[in-house]
């Protein structure tokens, strides 16, 4: 026993649990860009999906009131009942979906919510079906808790949407859930009511990452909860309300999972920030006009970006209709999007995200975020166009 303890103490490497986690490449691009800026380089940032707007005033005022009122202590582990009620009101008023506050877990951002959700869903070796391309962190969460991601390539020609027959071919006794992200990152894809109905008819749980709901520019907005109650919804305040640094999200879950999720929250996170939760209430109840203003500006940027990508002949077949991302098909120029993104950064001084960050099926694409000023988007695309001309 003494020899075993000595061997354990002599190990100087991180645990094997961390070895299966892949880097988040967009952050590597950002960090390289920041390093170049520190050397005096002028970099246009089109890589990071973070709203460039300030958090709306009613939200900031609610937080300041909470602090002044000494609302700085632990809350209920599920979250303040007032916030959970406001979330339920939001889903009723927007989608006519009735959920109960005891189905809502408020978290310190959506990432802890996903970690808790996958932990209570998955036994070792059980599977989650994902589209490829996908948000880069999904497989890391699934692998970390011992699950297995199963990837289904989705095609540009289909608007990067699942084909139901492809999902059915991948369903197995080990399948625990099918995950969808609408509006999507990195694709900007929005699932229609018909798409969601088809998914809801599958004989499995649906996980819907709806963090970009509200950022839709054409057509109607929907939630998976309109079509099934056997679904987990991941949502939050970062994107729609320009609250990334507030770290406030939530998961809506079937009741049979909530107690297990609550126990995980109690042990690992205690609760979300008390005063940030007051900001969340203000966001849901008092910031409709702020959201509408930001949405109109995002759409102006989207339309300009798409027009320029089409001029450069690198636009995708279908326009992205949601979130604040667009993919560009650069297969004519490269089969190594990682190297290509860094070439663009180093030579054109424009930061973009390589498609490979979002899965093998996204190789040959680069992702743009239009969560930046129209002036910067114009400058960045002019630089990119000049760069591409040197390759033609």
Where does CATH 3.90.1150.10 sit in the chain? 2-54+290-391
Report, as an integer, the average pLDDT of 58-65. 98
Ramachandran bin of 307, using left for φ above 0, alpha for ψ from -120 to 50, beta for the remaining angles: alpha
User: Contact, 312 vs 326, CB < 8 A?
Assistant: no
Max mean pLDDT range (20-24, 30-34, 73-77): 73-77
Q: Please count the residues of the chain.
A: 392
Q: What is the per-residue pLDDT for 27?
A: 85
Residues of the chain above pLDDT 70, percent: 97
Quick one: pLDDT band at residue 68, thresholds 50, 70, 90? very high
DSSP β-bridge partners for residue 216: 322
Mean residue pLDDT of the chain comes to 94
Helix 274-286 vs helix 57-68: crossing angle, to nearest 10: 140
Where does CATH 3.40.640.10 sit in the chain? 73-286
State yes or no: pLDDT of 18 exceeds 70: yes
Tens of pLDDT along 135-172? 999 999 999 999 999 999 999 999 999 998 999 999 99
Q: Residue 354 in 3-state DSSP?
A: strand
Report the alpha-carbon distance of residue 318 to residue 315 in Å, rounded: 8
Considering the domain delimited by 2-54+290-391, tell me its CATH architecture: Alpha-Beta Complex (3.90)
Quick one: pLDDT band at residue 6, thresholds 50, 70, 90? low
186 is written with which tokens?
A: 């990195």
Neighbours of 100 (CB within 10 A): 12
Whether the bond between 133 and the residue before it is cis, its omega within 30 degrees of 0, is: yes
Q: What is the per-residue pLDDT for 7?
A: 56
Report the alpha-carbon distance of residue 160 to residue 187 in Å, rounded: 7
Give the pairing of strands 231-236 and 205-209: parallel
Report the alpha-carbon distance of residue 19 to residue 335 in Å, rounded: 27
Give me the residue label for tokens 């650069």. Answer: 330
Using CB atoms within 10 Å of the CB of residue 286, give its burial: 0 to 12 exposed, 13 to 18 middle, 19+ buried.
middle
Give the pairing of strands 205-209 and 175-181: parallel
Q: Which phi and psi angles does 163 have, rounded to 5°? A: -100, 120
What is the model's pTM? 0.91
Quick one: pLDDT band at residue 8, thresholds 50, 70, 90? low
Quick one: pLDDT band at residue 49, thresholds 50, 70, 90? confident
Q: What is the per-residue pLDDT for 17?
A: 77
Tens of pLDDT along 208-242? 999 999 999 999 999 999 999 999 999 999 999 99
Residues of the chain above pLDDT 90, percent: 90
Report, as an integer, the average pLDDT of 325-335. 96
Report the alpha-carbon distance of residue 135 to residue 94 in Å, rounded: 25
Provide the CATH number for the domain formed by 73-286 in this structure. 3.40.640.10
């Amino acid at each position: 026993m003494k020899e075993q303890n000595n061997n354990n103490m002599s190990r100087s490497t991180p645990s094997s649990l961390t070895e299966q986690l892949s880097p988040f490449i967009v952050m590597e691009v950002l960090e390289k860009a920041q390093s170049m800026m520190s050397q005096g380089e002028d970099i246009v940032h089109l890589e990071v999906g973070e709203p460039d707007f300030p958090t709306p005033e009613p939200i900031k005022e609610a937080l300041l009131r909470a602090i002044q009122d000494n609302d700085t202590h632990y809350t209920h582990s599920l979250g303040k009942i007032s916030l959970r009620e406001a979330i339920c009101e939001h889903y009723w008023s927007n989608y006519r979906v009735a959920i109960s506050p005891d189905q809502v877990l408020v978290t310190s951002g959506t990432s802890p919510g996903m970690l808790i959700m996958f932990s209570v869903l998955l036994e070792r070796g059980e599977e989650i079906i994902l589209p490829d391309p996908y948000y880069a962190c999904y497989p890391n969460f699934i692998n970390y808790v011992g699950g297995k991601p199963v990837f289904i390539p989705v095609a540009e020609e289909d608007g990067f949407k699942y084909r139901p027959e492809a999902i059915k071919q991948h369903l197995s006794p080990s399948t625990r859930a099918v995950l969808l992200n609408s509006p999507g990152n990195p694709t900007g894809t929005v699932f229609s009511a018909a798409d969601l109905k088809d998914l809801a008819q599958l004989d499995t749980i649906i996980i819907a990452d709806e963090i970009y709901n509200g950022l839709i520019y054409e057509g109607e907005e929907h939630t998976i909860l309109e079509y099934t109650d056997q679904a987990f919804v991941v949502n939050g305040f970062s994107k729609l309300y320009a609250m990334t640094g507030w770290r406030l999200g939530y998961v809506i879950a079937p009741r049979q999972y909530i107690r297990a999720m609550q126990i995980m929250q109690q042990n690992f996170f205690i609760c979300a920030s008390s005063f940030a939760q007051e900001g969340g209430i203000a966001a849901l109840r008092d910031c409709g006009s702020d959201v509408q203003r930001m949405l109109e500006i995002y759409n102006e940027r989207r339309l300009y970006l798409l027009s320029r990508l089409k001029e450069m002949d690198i636009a995708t077949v279908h326009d992205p209709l949601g979130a604040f991302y667009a993919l560009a098909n650069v297969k004519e120029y490269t089969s190594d999007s990682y190297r290509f993104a860094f070439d663009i950064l180093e030579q054109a001084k424009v930061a973009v995200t390589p498609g490979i960050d979002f899965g093998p099926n996204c190789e040959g694409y680069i992702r743009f975020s239009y969560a930046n000023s129209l002036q910067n988007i114009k400058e960045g695309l002019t630089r990119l166009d000049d760069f591409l001309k040197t390759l033609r």
